[in-house]
Amino acid sequence: MRHGLVIGNTDGIGLALTRRLLEDGWAVTGLSRRPAAVEHDRYVHVAADVTAPGFPASLARALDAADGVDLCVYAAGVGDLLDPDDLGAQTRVLEVNLIGAARAVEVVVPRMLAAGGGHFIGLSSLADTLITPVAPGYAASKAGLSSYLIALGAALRPRGVHVSTVRFGFVDTKMAKGPVRPMMITVDRAVDVLMRCVRTRAAVVSYPRRMALLTAALRPVARTRARLGSR
């Protein structure tokens, strides 16, 4: 039986993906700060915070109990807007979105290498191409995550471990903040995209494609505005 690990799965994309994997016959271990939102005979829940010092040990114990993992999806994420009076919130965004993912890789990938195969998916964002004063921590964390996973995937592919970076635009979850959310997709559609990635093991998935083209086109404008704003 295939075993999947979903990190950050008590709501949003992570929760919907957990349910889809179970429907498709997977055994699933979920890891998040809050109690389980799923009850199933093939589901095990681990309560842990990806920013806590004990996170790697909790993750290692969960993998040991599962006796291996075929798929790991890092779906944990936060996206606070900038408040200059609370820059600690931006630090937490970096800790959850980027450092937490790197710590998960540190625990999961060696086990996949030892087993001769596996698939690690990180949920990034089309915002990884932008420099935005509205949410600098979010954009920076996703830029770092995409860069790290893409490079890591190139290094690990010859050894049988696949790494995918899935770059979404706006998805209809609590993470979708701001008055304007163009081309927003449903959570179910996001899970469809993820499940296709599970099948194809594509290195990079950007969705929606029109949104990806738009953000790429806006990147020079955003950089220029950032430079002008700093003068």
Decide if 34 contacts 46 (C-beta within 8 A). no
Q: Which run of H or E residues covers position 46?
A: strand 43-47
- pLDDT at residue 216, as a whole number: 61
101-83-190-168 Cα dihedral, nearest 10 degrees: -80
| Residue among 40, 36, 38, 37 at smallest CA distance from 48 | 36
Output phi, psi for 153, to 5 deg.
-60, -40
**Partners of residue 45 on adjacent β-strands:** 30
Q: Would you say 48 and 55 are in contact if contact means Cβ atoms under 8 Å apart?
A: yes
Residue 221 pLDDT: 47
Quick one: 44 exposed, middle or buried, by C-beta within 10 A (0-12, 13-18, 19+)?
middle
Residues 90-120 pLDDT 10s: 999 999 999 999 999 999 999 999 999 999 9
CA–CA gap between residue 143 and residue 99 (Å, rounded): 12
pLDDT in 10s for each residue of the chain, 231 residues: 999 999 999 999 999 999 999 999 999 999 999 998 899 999 999 999 999 999 999 999 999 999 889 999 999 999 889 999 999 999 999 999 999 999 999 999 999 999 999 999 999 999 898 888 889 999 999 999 999 999 999 999 999 999 999 999 889 876 555 555 667 899 999 999 999 999 999 999 999 876 655 566 555 545 444 444 444
